[in-house]
Structure 1
Amino acid sequence: MMPWDGVVEFVAVAQTESFTQAASRLGISTAQVSRQVSQLENRLTIKLFYRTTRKVSLTEEGAIYFRHCRQVLDGLEEAERAVSRLHHSPQGLIRMTAPVTYGERFIMPIVVDFMAQYPQVEVICELTNKQLDLVDGSYDLAIRLGRLADSSLIAKRLSSRRQYVCASPTYLKQYGVPEYLTDLNQHDCLIGTNSHWHFDEQGKEKVVKVQGRLQCSSGMTLLDAALRGMGIVQLPGYYVNDAIAQGQLTVLLAQYQQAKEGIWALYPQNRHLSAKVRLLVDMLADKLP
């Protein structure tokens, strides 16, 4: 038995969580996939998958083996593309993640354009506001907004956004207009995932802890609450620009507004950036507003 026997089949099953879908992707029979994986398990003397009638999932040992195999296969794929110039026609699977609202409005339309341009590319995208572990989840790419936590991930700036503090005229008429950052303590603030709002005060960063009756990870929910006069909100421009232009929201504390924040593409440092992912990142950087 050759050392690579069963590895490609194993990786396909791990990615699709299905022997049947793995077989379809590889263009072979389900029985052949199952046989190759079983022979690989026997050779390694470990169990790679938990198998039930409804689900296939990696064991702890299988997850470790998958991460290493994926890196090797990515390297082989890139080497083949380099010598055969296949990067002009990218193909294969891209696993990615992006925030929900920004992903729906801006990222996924560009991804669909990318897939239309390159029909042999497959994409699995998880839209979530949680910051998923790219290595453990075997993601090729993540889109992150705003401030980046220190990590081993490689980041490329794609675009930028600006945060606005605003409230409805109805709320301001009833509770008054805050003129200074300290005034926020006297107001009901609509809070997202972070109760600390960032500002610029005479060239220095100022962080203000706000409080309020509503905290929600959904920007659209916070926007709706602000429009109803429920409180003061801090949201990126793509949420509030239309409402500001129509007079439904009033911009507050503009003198403390920070410079634009980055919108980033992140990928694992220990994973070679494949041609297809690089082309997608380039298209996102070119087309994002």
Structure 2
Amino acid sequence: MVWEGIIEFCTVANLHSFTKAASYLDSSVAQVSRRVATLEKGLGVKLFNRTTRHVSLTEAGQLYYAQCKPALEALQNAELNVTEKQRVPTGLIKMTAPVAFGEAFIAPLINRFVKQYQGVQVECRFTNDTVDIIEQGLDLAVRIGRLEDSSLVAKKLSTRQLYVCASKAYLAKHPAPATPQQLSEHNCLVGSQAHWRFSQNGTRTNVRVSGSIKYNSGNALHDAALAGIGLVQLPGFYVRNDLACGRLLEVLSAFREERETVWALFPSNRHMAPKVRLLVNYLAEHLEDDE
């Protein structure tokens, strides 16, 4: 029975790239290519169609991948279940998380985690960019909202709510909008997206907004709203205290979008290391929903 090259084959099939597979497996493109070639020779079939820009499975490759993937995952899970019980988690976890949310919620939990598991180190890159965690060699990403289709596995960590609000001073001069469409009559404090999200008649609606200020920082938008410059749409962790004490007033509450999900994303083509599994479960257990 042919075994050599199955991990490389499944990784290339999952990522559609020998280069990405080599990076993910911490190997070289030449080594991955050799192992796949050895597998093809042993099977007597061609598994991939290769061009300079594209890699795709042949018909035989599709059939073989469909059979190999669950078998490989079962073997990896069996190995993990045996070794995880005997192993104290150690080593480096490389991850990424959104800037403001990560600094406010993820970093404190990471600090508690590494204090509890002293053999683990965590390197977290805070960025609002969508980082390719496989190309960057990361183990984990924390992301918020709707996810693009990908080869990554997603685990729900928590949820958060978006609010549209403004200061009393602003609303004293500008009557509150009755519908999202009336935002065109207001000075809206714009973030990295030029539209705000709402739910109308059970349907998600995007409304384009504009105003005198545009920041790619939630903290800066929050300060502008407190200064009475305009309306803002922000997650609860920015504004909940201000809403509770009346420094900011919510508008369009009847049109709130459904709560956003906070996700942990990790690669699917090999089992999660015990240290990463432990951190993901720790985040899911301790990360409370953001009201």
TM-score, L = length of structure 1: 0.72
Structure 2 distance, partners of 1:89, 1:125, is 21
Contact 1:94–1:140 (CA under 8 A) maintained in structure 2: yes
In the other structure, the counterpart of 2:104 is 105
Instruction: Report whether the alignment pairs 1:68 with 2:25.
Output: yes
Shift of residue 149 of structure 1? 2.0
Q: Distance in 2 between matches of 1:249 and 1:109?
A: 27
Q: 2:127 maps to which residue?
A: 128
- Aligned-pair CA distance for 1:131: 1.1
Structure-2 separation of matches of 1:82 and 1:258: 40
Q: Which residue of 1 aligns with 2:242?
A: 243
Question: Structure 1 residues 104, 70: CA separation in 2 closer, same or farther (over 3 Å shift)?
Answer: farther
Q: CA RMSD in A?
A: 2.5
- State the alpha-carbon separation in 1 of the partners of residues 132 and 236 from structure 2: 28
Helix, strand or coil: the match of 2:243? helix
* Alignment partner, residue 70 of structure 2: none
Letter in 2 for 1:215: K
Contact kept in structure 1, 2:20 and 2:134, CA below 8 Å = no
The aligned residue for residue 11 of structure 1 is: none
Shift of 1:91: 0.8
**Does the residue aligned with 1:172 lie in a helix, a strand or coil?**
helix
User: In the TM superposition, what whole-angstrom CA distance separates every residue of 1:94-143 from its partner, at most 9, and x where no partner exists?
Assistant: 00000111111111111111111111111111011111111110110000
Corresponding residue for residue 207 of structure 1:
206
CA contact (8 A) 1:78 1:275 kept: no
Q: Structure 1 counterpart of 2:25, which letter?
A: H
Find the counterpart in structure 2 of residue 285 from structure 1.
284
Q: Give the whole-Å Cα distance in 2 for the aligned partners of 1:214 and 1:92.
A: 44
Q: Report the Cα offset of residue 230 of structure 1.
A: 1.0
Distance 2:187 2:211 in 1: 5
> Against the structure 1 CA distance between its residues 153 and 80, is the aligned structure 2 distance closer, same or farther, given a 3 Å change threshold?
closer
Q: What count of residue pairs does the alignment treat as equivalent?
A: 227
Task: Tell me how far apart the structure 1 counterparts of residues 178 and 242 of structure 2 sit (CA, whole Å).
Answer: 21
Cα distance in structure 1, aligned partners of 2:131 and 2:194: 21
CA distance in 1, matches of 2:276, 2:251: 40
**Corresponding residue number in structure 1 for 2:114:** 115
State the shift of 1:232 in Å: 0.5
Distance 1:136 1:87 in 2: 31
Structure 2 CA distance for partners of 1:99 and 1:70, relative to 1, 3 Å: farther
Q: Is the aligned partner of 1:164 residue 2:163?
A: yes
- Paired letter, 1:233: V
Helix, strand or coil: the match of 1:191? coil
* CA drift at 1:86: 5.4
Tell me how far 1:273 sits from its aligned partner: 1.1
The residue type equivalent to 2:138 in the other structure is Y
Against the structure 1 CA distance between its residues 263 and 70, is the aligned structure 2 distance closer, same or farther, given a 3 Å change threshold?
farther
Q: Quick check: 2:76–2:270 contact (8 Å CA) kept in 1?
A: no
Question: Relative to structure 1, is the Cα distance of residues 222 and 98 closer, same or farther in structure 2, using a 3 angstrom cutoff?
Answer: same
3-state SS of paired residue (2:189): strand
Match of 2:51 in 1: none
- Sequence identity, in percent? 44
Measure the CA separation in 2 of the matches of 1:151 and 1:65: 18
- CA deviations on 1:247-279 (whole Å, 9 max, x unpaired) are 110000011112211000011222421111111
User: Post-superposition shift, 1:78?
Assistant: 8.4
- Superposed CA deviations along residues 54-108 of structure 1, whole A, max 9, x for unmatched, are xxxxxxx998744332699xx9998876544456511111000001111111111
Q: Distance in 2 between matches of 1:277 and 1:202?
A: 41
The TM-score, its normalising length taken from structure 2, stands at 0.72
CA distance in 1, matches of 2:175, 2:243: 18
